């Protein structure tokens, strides 16, 4: 397809149509779909609907085929529709939610999750996925932390890149490969007070140093699209923000792919108070560099007027449309508009046995053991199961609309399948409903497993909470269980770090998040010891809501609190410590690892040199296990205040029972810089602190000097 020639043949209205994205029910009325936003009447006539360039959300191959067929019949130039959808952590084989995926600290595993998701999604004719979400997060009240990779810029980078590689697999023209749309550009994760869609206010320096890394890495990995955020940056909605869309994205990052608004977010600039009406919003959108408008109609209804008035707008329109058509061409849609959509293939590819087996492995690595007073693993013991998640199959979590929880095993079923002895089950969360007979049964068990948590609807988009303890009074269930004198293992199902101070009476606490299609099989294997837990947190767990935002890579302040030194006039709280309950990088294993003998190949490095840090990790236990060894750096003195520590590398290594591994990390110049407020890399000489450890609050350190010659 000759795109330049095609452009010449299109009318202005046809061009503008390419920038319109609509839900499939506009084309075929009886299609069912989940939309993440209100469905407002779009005041579109049939002619305009059939000018649209892309579709948001599609169910299955048959639906895609019928929408595409109907569309192409009416379309003058037979330009195929491009189908996009939220394939966030799997299509029908559901993998752990992204926050859980990040707790694997396993790049290639995450890449394969995206690969399988693409292969399955493509059978429905999906061409673009609205993933990865690379929003750095610091506030667990925000429901969308469940979709994120946590609080660290380095991990954002590694995992966003892995997902793009997995989805696109270097060549989006092939069947089984989908284009990645990284989102939400930018800094949506900083929604004030954790309330979704709320305003964002941050410095350019923090934007550049903390919040952009994931989007940038996705673009560098070749992501074909980027979605704007709902929030403002410097007071200007991201959807019409020239600084973001032109200066950062096009000029600094040389992005030549397609930009898309979030659902209705171009229209919403009116509510932001940055446009009087859709007509003005359309002008601001095209001037800023917004290509596709999702689920609102500012462009389709108003852009023609602007084009007529101002030839520069026509140039901008042409650029945007060309980008969209090039993406369609790159996806191979002009050759085959139904690419991938295959009703028969769909049946044998989705939920293939090897996909499910892999989903179980991923789930095993996502689970984080938070506490274990010699209670786990439960081997050959009589188990009583209580709490709502004892019998619930809801392990898919938010954003899994193609997945079906009914296919999943409940915890009870998974225990039974694994041959464990379950002597009592009660899904109630309310201690008042447990009578004497129940208590008798519970006392007969060796261990009580309390399966508790949030519902799927308590995290995710538009699902923020201001109190983030266990909901529905489930804390009382744990307190009650402990009064019976048995060991109590609390198994948590939830989409965010919760406040867990009140359930510390539990003998063991296991954070499982939402682990997907094979979640409970994985959880049982961990509880019974078949699998050794290895997940580590990527978000700090606060002790109370007042500590939020709490994150490990904070600045030092001018009056830092130094543990052990009593001083009233420093930065601290009267009523709670500065430290999190469970820090970034934290997670227990059934093995015991000791870190010893940190050394550096040299304590001085120049710009052209690399030095090597080594450390010995000793597994003192009789179980082999994975350990995630983390390397942090601190730049003591710089032109701007730098964080007290920043993750710069990690290794996930299997260490055999009673054995030692020496782990090495190269320290290179690019780990020592920071960004100025324009995004330029700055390297300053001086002293750095090297820290290696099992989590952010358990490190061994030594200093070295970086010299610029
Ligand atoms: C709104 C969400 O913010 C975004 O993440 C999603 O991709 C779109 N809706 C499309 O469903």
At residue 166, the pLDDT reads 98
8 Å CB contact between 693 and 593: no
Cβ 130 under 6 angstroms from ligand 1: yes
- Predicted local confidence at residue 94, as pLDDT: 98
Q: CB-based burial of residue 348 (10 Å sphere; 0-12 exposed, 13-18 middle, 19+ buried)? A: exposed
Residue 43's pLDDT band, with cuts at 50, 70 and 90, is confident
* 263 in contact with ligand 1, CB cutoff 6 A: yes
Say if residue 161's pLDDT is above 70: yes
> At residue 172, does pLDDT exceed 90?
yes
Predicted local distance difference test score (pLDDT) of residue 564? 85
Residue 55 CA, ligand 1 centroid: distance in Å? 13
Ramachandran category for residue 196: left, alpha or beta (phi over 0 → left; psi -120 to 50 → alpha)? beta
Residues β-bridged to residue 85: 129
Mean pLDDT of 374-394: 96
Calculate the average pLDDT of the chain: 96
Evaluate: CB of 484 within 6 angstroms of ligand 1.
no
pLDDT higher than 70, residue 623: yes
Question: What's the chain's Rg over C-alpha atoms?
Answer: 26
* Cβ neighbours for 337, distance < 8 A, ≥ 6 positions apart: 68, 72, 78, 80, 81
Catalytic residue (choose from 86, 135, 139, 262): 262
What is the reported pLDDT for 39?
Answer: 53
CA–CA dist 492, 63 (Å, integer): 37
Q: Give residue 45's pLDDT.
A: 84
Residue 22 Cα to ligand 1 middle (Å): 13
Is residue 42's pLDDT more than 80?
Answer: no
293 lines ligand 1 (CB under 6 A): no
Query: Residue 38: pLDDT above 80?
Result: no
**How are beta strands 611-619 and 593-600 bridged, if at all?**
antiparallel
Q: Note the pLDDT of residue 10.
A: 98
Instruction: Name which residue sits closest to atom 7 of ligand 1, judged by CA.
Output: 130
Q: What is the pLDDT of residues 17-33, one digit of tens each?
A: 999 999 888 888 765 55
Containing 450, the helix (H) or strand (E) segment is strand 447-453
What does the pLDDT read at residue 34? 52
pLDDT at 89 over 80: yes
- Bridge partners of residue 294, in order along the sequence: 21
Confidence of residue 58 (pLDDT cuts 50, 70, 90): confident
Q: pLDDT per residue over 657-701, tens digit each?
A: 999 999 999 999 999 999 999 999 999 999 999 999 999 999 999
For the cut 90, the answer to whether the pLDDT of residue 600 exceeds it is yes
Residue 35: what pLDDT? 53
Q: Is 351 in the pocket of ligand 1 (CB under 6 A)?
A: no
C-beta of 37 in contact with ligand 1 (< 6 A): yes
Mean pLDDT of 464-486: 97
**pTM for this structure?**
0.97
Residue 430 vs residues 450, 512, 564: alpha-carbon distances, Å: 12, 22, 42
Enter the tokens of residue 484. 């019976």
Residue 36 pLDDT > 90: no
pLDDT of residue 46: 85
**Is pLDDT at 135 greater than 90 in this prediction?**
yes
Model confidence pLDDT, tens digit, residues 326-368: 999 999 999 999 999 999 988 899 999 999 999 999 999 999 9
Closest residue to atom 3 of ligand 1, CA basis: 262
pLDDT band at 443 (very low <50, low <70, confident <90, very high): very high
310 is catalytic: no
Given ligand 1 and candidates 128, 263, 268, which is best to mutate, with the most ligand atoms within 8 Å of its CB?
Answer: 263
The burial of 179, by beta-carbon neighbours within 10 Å (0-12 exposed, 13-18 middle, 19 or more buried), is given as buried
pLDDT at 32: 54
pLDDT at 411 over 60: yes
At residue 31, the pLDDT reads: 59
User: What is the per-residue pLDDT across 559-596, written as a single tens digit (0 to 9) for each?
Assistant: 999 988 888 999 999 999 999 999 999 999 999 999 99
């Amino acid at each position: 397809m000759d795109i330049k020639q095609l452009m010449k043949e299109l009318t202005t209205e046809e061009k503008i149509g390419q920038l319109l994205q609509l839900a499939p029910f506009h084309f075929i009325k009886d299609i069912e779909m989940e939309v993440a936003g209100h469905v407002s009447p779009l005041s579109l006539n049939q002619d305009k609907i059939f000018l649209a360039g892309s579709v948001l959300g599609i169910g299955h191959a048959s639906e895609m085929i019928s929408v595409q067929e109907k569309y192409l019949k009416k379309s003058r130039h037979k330009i195929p529709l491009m189908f996009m959808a939220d394939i966030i952590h799997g299509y029908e084989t559901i993998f752990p939610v992204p926050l859980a995926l990040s707790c694997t600290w396993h790049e290639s595993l995450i890449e394969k999750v995206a690969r399988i998701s693409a292969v399955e999604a493509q059978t429905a004719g999906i061409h673009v996925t609205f993933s990865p979400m690379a929003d750095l997060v610091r506030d667990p009240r925000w429901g969308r932390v469940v979709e994120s990779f946590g609080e660290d810029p380095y991990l954002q980078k590694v995992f966003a890149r892995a997902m793009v590689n997995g989805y696109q697999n270097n060549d989006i023209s092939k069947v089984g490969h989908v284009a990645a749309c990284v989102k939400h550009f930018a800094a949506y994760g900083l929604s004030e007070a954790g309330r979704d869609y709320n305003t964002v206010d941050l410095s350019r320096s923090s934007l550049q140093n903390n919040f952009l890394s994931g989007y940038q890495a996705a673009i560098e990995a070749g992501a074909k699209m980027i979605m704007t955020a709902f929030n403002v940056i410097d007071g200007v909605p991201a959807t019409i923000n020239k600084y973001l869309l032109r200066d950062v994205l096009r000029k600094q990052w040389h992005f030549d792919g397609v930009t898309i608004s979030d659902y209705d977010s171009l229209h919403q600039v009116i509510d932001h108070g940055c446009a009087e009406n859709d007509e003005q919003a359309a002008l601001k959108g095209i001037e800023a560099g917004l290509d596709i408008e999702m689920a609102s109609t500012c462009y389709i209804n108003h852009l023609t007027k602007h084009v007529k008035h101002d030839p520069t707008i026509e140039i901008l329109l042409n650029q945007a449309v060309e980008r969209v058509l090039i993406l369609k061409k790159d996806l191979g849609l002009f050759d085959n508009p139904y690419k991938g959509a295959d009703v028969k293939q769909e049946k044998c590819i989705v939920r293939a046995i090897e996909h499910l087996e892999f989903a179980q492995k991923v789930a095993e690595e996502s689970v984080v053991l938070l506490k274990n007073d010699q209670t786990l693993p439960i081997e050959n013991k009589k188990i009583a199961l209580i709490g709502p998640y004892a019998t619930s199959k809801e392990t898919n979590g938010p954003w899994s609309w193609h997945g079906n929880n009914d296919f999943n095993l409940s915890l009870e079923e998974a225990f039974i399948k694994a041959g464990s002895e379950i002597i009592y089950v009660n899904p109630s969360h309310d201690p008042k409903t447990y009578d004497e007979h129940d208590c008798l049964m519970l006392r007969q068990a060796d261990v009580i497993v309390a399966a508790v948590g949030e519902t799927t609807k308590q995290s995710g988009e538009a699902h923020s909470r201001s109190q983030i303890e266990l909901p529905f009074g489930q804390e009382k269930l744990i307190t009650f269980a402990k009064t019976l004198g048995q060991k109590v293992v609390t198994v948590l199902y939830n989409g965010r770090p919760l406040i867990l101070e009140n359930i510390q009476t539990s003998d063991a606490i296991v954070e499982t998040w939402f682990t997907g299609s094979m979640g409970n099989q994985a959880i049982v294997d961990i509880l019974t010891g078949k699998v050794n837990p290895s997940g580590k947190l990527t978000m700090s767990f606060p002790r109370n809501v007042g500590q939020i935002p709490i994150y490990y890579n904070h600045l030092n302040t001018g009056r830092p609190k130094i543990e052990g030194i009593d001083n009233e006039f420093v930065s601290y709280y009267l009523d709670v410590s500065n430290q999190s309950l469970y820090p970034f990088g934290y997670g227990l294993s059934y093995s015991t690892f000791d870190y010893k003998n940190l050394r550096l190949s040299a304590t001085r490095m120049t710009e052209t040199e690399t030095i090597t840090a080594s450390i010995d990790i000793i597994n003192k236990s009789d179980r082999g296990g994975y350990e995630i060894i983390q390397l942090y750096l601190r730049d003591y003195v710089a032109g701007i205040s730098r964080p007290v520590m920043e993750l710069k590398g990690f290794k996930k290594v299997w260490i055999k029972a009673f054995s030692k591994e020496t782990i090495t990390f190269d320290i290179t110049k690019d780990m020592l810089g920071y960004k100025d407020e324009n995004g330029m890399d700055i390297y300053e000489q001086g002293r750095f602190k090297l820290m290696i450890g099992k989590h952010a609050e358990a490190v061994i350190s030594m200093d070295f000097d970086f010299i610029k010659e």
